[in-house]
Amino acid sequence: MPLTEIALIIIAVTFCILVLTLIPTLLTIKRTAASVGELAEMIQNELKPTLQELTGVLTELKSAGSGMAEYNADVKHFMSELGEAGNHLHTINRTVGVVTGVLDTTSVWATGAKVAGKYVIERYLKKRGGM
């Protein structure tokens, strides 16, 4: 056998081994490609309704935001009135405090006058009775 024939046999055997090795690899690549295709289709089918739902939610949020913007002036007015009511309550509280102080002072003066009146009357009666 010449050297060329041996080389051709070695090349043929190597080629057969290469083909036998590549067949399972090519089958695995084919299954992977099919799986990736199914995954892409499933994601697309699931993603469309999700995107539509998200669009609906965004539309609702926009309408809610515009509704809130409409009532912003009312809320500001309410807060302003609430602040004024607080100021009025503070004024009333201060006035009640002053009136209470005056009444306390008046009651102290009235009690003092009553005691002083009794003392003066007792002294007067003692002097008159003692003379």
**pTM for the complete prediction?**
0.39
pLDDT at residue 69 in the model: 72
Which of 1-10, 62-71, 80-89 is predicted with the least confidence, judged by mean pLDDT?
Answer: 62-71
Distance in angstroms between the alpha carbons of the first and the last residue of the chain: 175
DSSP string, 67-88: HHHHTHHHHHHHHHHHHHHHHH
pLDDT tens digits, one per residue of 86-129: 899 999 989 988 888 888 888 888 888 888 888 888 888 888 77
pLDDT at residue 130 in the model: 54
80 against 65, higher pLDDT: 80
CA 87, CA 10: separation in Å to the nearest integer?
105
Name the 3-class secondary structure at 2: coil
Domain boundaries, the chain: 1-70, 73-131
Report the mean per-residue pLDDT for the chain. Answer: 86
In sequence order, which residues have a C-beta less than 8 Å from that of residue 42 and are 6 or more positions away? none
pLDDT at 43 over 60: yes
